[in-house]
């Protein structure tokens, strides 16, 4: 769907990288190895996004480090479009709101790093009916055309976790405090 609006696959990858998780930073050579594309294609898109004000950069030694400009007027909208593109809005709408005692839902794995993937990794925190969750996940997988891998923690279990046990810094998708 998004490919019809944005013809550059490199630009889509960069938007996913920076706008899905606004804490993500990267530099040109790192993106080259991550994306498996030429530095010229990536540099062109980075420059376009920076000139549009959607990315900001700073020098760290001899590296130019890029990150999303969260102050850009379109930041929230781009983030929302990407969530819809990935189907995360469907997960929240069709799964979380029907499970009852969900406290938080986090995105982890490749998408938390800003990488596109066929698998969406989630962490659910709360007292959740696992059998019902499995049924809902199966339905949502057909809607979003991606596999969903998940872990369920009780609030006490999650509070005792160390970030290094999870791997990537989880990205909060939903909280009952919202």
Sign of CA dihedral 132, 143, 141, 10: negative
The model's pTM is 0.72
pLDDT of residue 165: 62
Handedness of CA 76, 91, 148, 150 (dihedral sign): positive
- Cβ pair 75, 56 in contact under 8 A: no
How far is Cα 25 from Cα 17, in angstroms, rounded to an integer? 8
What pLDDT, on the 0 to 100 scale, is given for residue 129?
Answer: 85
The pLDDT of residue 27: 94
Q: Tokens representing 152?
A: 């369920």
Per-10-residue mean pLDDT of the chain, 178 residues long, equals 73 90 90 90 95 96 95 93 81 74 88 85 90 86 87 88 66 78
Task: Answer positive or negative: Cα dihedral of 129, 131, 136, 140.
Answer: positive
Alpha-carbon gap, residue 126 to 154, rounded angstroms: 5
- At 101 the pLDDT is 85
pLDDT of residue 56: 97
């Amino acid at each position: 769907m998004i490919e019809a609006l944005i013809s550059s696959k490199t630009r889509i990858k960069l938007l996913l990288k920076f706008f899905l998780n606004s804490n993500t930073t990267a530099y040109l050579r790192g993106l080259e190895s991550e994306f498996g594309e030429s530095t010229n294609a990536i540099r062109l898109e980075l420059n376009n996004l920076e000139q549009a004000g959607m990315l900001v950069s700073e020098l760290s030694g001899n590296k130019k480090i890029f990150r999303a400009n969260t102050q850009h007027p379109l930041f929230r909208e781009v983030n929302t479009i990407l969530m819809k593109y990935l189907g995360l809005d469907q997960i929240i709408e069709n799964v979380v709101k029907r499970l009852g005692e969900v406290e938080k839902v986090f995105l982890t794995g490749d998408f938390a790093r800003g990488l596109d993937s066929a698998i969406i990794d989630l962490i659910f925190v709360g007292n959740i009916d696992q059998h019902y969750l499995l049924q809902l996940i199966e339905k949502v997988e057909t809607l979003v055309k991606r596999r969903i891998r998940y872990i369920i923690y009780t609030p006490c279990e999650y509070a005792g976790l160390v970030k290094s046990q999870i791997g990537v810094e989880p990205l909060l998708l939903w909280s009952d405090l919202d």
